[in-house]
Amino acid sequence: MVKARAPVRIDLAGGWSDAPPFCEQVGGDVVNIAINHYAHAEVAIDENGMLQSSYSCEVPIGSGLGSTGAINVALMAAIKGAEGSEELAFQFERLLGNHGGRQDQWAARNGGIQHLKFIGDQVDSLPLQPGERFNRWIESHLILADTGIRHTSGDLHSSVWARYDEVLPHLMAIRQSGRDMATAVQIDDRYKVCNAMKAYTESVGKLDPALNEPYLLLEEMSEVMAWKGMGAAAGGFVGIISREPEKTKAAIPWDVLDWQIDNEGLVIS
């Protein structure tokens, strides 16, 4: 039996710019963090030579944390090995009609905090290493909360890409937020981290105001410094950077998921 485990992720900024046609025509930049909640896959050959597989995930599908990408990386790795499992997972999802990008699979494969650069079908993974002080700060001040609303990211992407020419300026701003976030994280500039996240959220609202609607109550909380819907937004989890995390947790009507950075990425046994 072969077992594989791959982490889901928090995306801090730049999501949407990793997906075609934008990444093919312009290029994308995303910053994400692999976290200690996992997809699992097992593959075995029984006594009759039949292949058997199973998989599961510790967070729900449609959560915005890249659970589908993590599941498919774990499954491809259990079948074919770690090498190239991220691209195999992406291509498998394309066959199933998913129009999203590649950030989820690369987060699951590599772990840690990454600045991912997308040019066509090529991905450059640039590990960010801001230091333990930043890591402790982001783990304690970034709240992950589940709205309970589930969505299919491929459906959300399709509705936006159908208006590509209209939303192109907002996609450019989203890409810039990913670049700004990478710089801010690497130098541990927390003010700029919040500004990059706010710029991203504002641009996503211009793609479609409905994407941010589930989280607008956060605008009334003075201690909240920045927030963004995870993944394609419109529900699932929201990431909230708060100067008073316990106050925010007590005020929001959603379940909170405790998390830490995962630095291992994909693990096969």
Closest by CA to 59, choosing from 41, 32, 40, 78, is: 40
Residues, the chain, total? Answer: 269
Number of folded domains in the chain?
A: 1
The two tokens of residue 141 are 């001040």
CATH at residue 242? 3.30.230.120
Helix (H) / strand (E) element for 37: namely: strand 28-45
In order along its 269 residues, the chain shows pLDDT tens digits of: 899 999 999 999 999 999 889 999 999 999 999 999 999 999 998 888 888 889 999 999 889 999 999 999 999 999 999 999 999 999 998 888 777 789 999 999 999 999 999 998 899 999 999 999 999 999 999 999 999 998 665 566 777 888 989 999 999 999 999 999 999 999 999 999 999 999 999 999 999 999 999 999 999 999 999 999 999 899 999 999 999 999 999 999 999 999 999 999 999 99
Closest by CA to 240, choosing from 268, 262, 219, 261, is: 219
Q: Is the dihedral of CA 163, 194, 105, 125 positive or negative?
A: positive
Domain that holds residue 123: 1-269
